[in-house]
Amino acid sequence: MAKNKKTPSNTIASNKKARFDYFIEQEFEAGLVLEGWEVKSMRANLVQLKESYVQIHNGELFLYGAHISPLISASTHISPNPVRTRKLLMKNLEISRLIGQVERDGYTLAPLSLYWSRGRAKLKIGLAKGKKQHDKRASIKDRDWKRDQQRIMKGG
């Protein structure tokens, strides 16, 4: 008797709204500077990236608005702040390229997903250009058509 074993997903949280609101040109991987209680909460999947964004200050990247809910059993000698600003870790060359494109070309940085890579939490950042309203309507139309195609194919 063979059992169906699913490999556990490494994804902690994803930001579906970012892919709807922006055209993603390039994707980058960044590490995060975290506290101990945040890592424990990530292992329990208590993370939301829905309203988060990435900004550049003094040549460094920071993640704003990401909500990491503290566990009830978190340490008692600290007061956890669920939406604190978190520093992102990338190589200087990548950061300087991002700075150039964000400042000159009108791009923005959007967090796409948070996942585990070799036991470390990583954030996938997208170099993004904003969509206009008609682009969003086209995305909705395409999504609905693909869903209808699946229904037709499944129905036989």
Q: What is the pLDDT of residues 100-145, one digit of tens each?
A: 888 877 788 889 999 988 888 899 998 888 777 777 788 888 888 8
Q: Which of 100, 99, 113 is nearest to 42 (CA)?
A: 113
Cα distance between residue 2 and residue 31, in whole Å: 38
Task: State pLDDT tens for residues 42-80.
Answer: 888 888 888 888 898 988 999 998 888 888 776 667 778
DSSP structural state of residue 71? P
First to last CA, the chain: 31
Give residue 75's pLDDT.
64
